[in-house]
């Protein structure tokens, strides 16, 4: 079946650095990719939706300058957390969808900012 690969699975970095998370669709063309954030003991919160070759659409309250999303190809989207601070620590999950396909989820990235 369809697989979405998300990398890295866990990253720890110092406050002020930027962190890039990759999301790849391995066996289908992902026309749309979604990025979610999940706080402990809470549900997934949609951050943004990106269509290949277009600018991402961010949900209300999500800083587009803080969370840079690039969807340059049909198989790859990246989320860059710029100048990360401890409050950005969270579990980030990507999801990809092709035409007439349901969403497939990556395994998530645990981001810890010290």
Using CB under 8 A as the criterion, which residues of the chain lie in contact with other proteins when the complex forms?
A: 6, 31-32, 34, 41-44, 46, 49, 51, 93, 95, 97, 99-100, 102-103, 105-108, 110
Q: What is the smallest separation between the CB atom of 101 and other proteins, expressed in angstroms?
A: 9
Q: What is the smallest separation between the CB atom of 16 and other proteins, expressed in angstroms?
A: 26
Task: Kindly report the number of other CB atoms within 10 A of residue 93's CB atom.
Answer: 22
Task: Kindly report the number of other CB atoms within 10 A of residue 64's CB atom.
Answer: 13
Q: Which is closer to other proteins, CB of 70 or CB of 82?
A: 70
d(CA 102, CA 25): 13
Q: What is the smallest separation between the CB atom of 90 and other proteins, expressed in angstroms?
A: 12
Q: Which is closer to other proteins, CB of 50 or CB of 78?
A: 50
- In sequence order, what are the residues at sequence separation of 6 or more whose Cβ sits closer than 8 angstroms to the Cβ of residue 105? 4, 93, 94, 95
Structure tokens, 92: 């980030």
């Amino acid at each position: 079946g369809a697989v979405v690969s998300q990398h890295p699975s866990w990253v720890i970095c110092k406050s002020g650095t930027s962190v890039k998370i990759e999301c790849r669709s391995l066996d289908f063309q992902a026309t749309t990719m979604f990025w979610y954030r999940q706080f402990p003991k809470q549900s997934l919160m949609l951050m943004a939706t990106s269509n290949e070759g277009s600018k991402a659409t961010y949900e209300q309250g999500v800083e587009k300058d803080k969370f840079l999303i690039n969807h340059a190809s049909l198989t790859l989207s990246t989320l860059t957390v710029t100048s990360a601070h401890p409050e950005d620590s969270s579990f980030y999950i990507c999801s990809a969808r092709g035409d007439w396909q349901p969403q497939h989820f990556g395994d998530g990235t645990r981001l810890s900012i010290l």
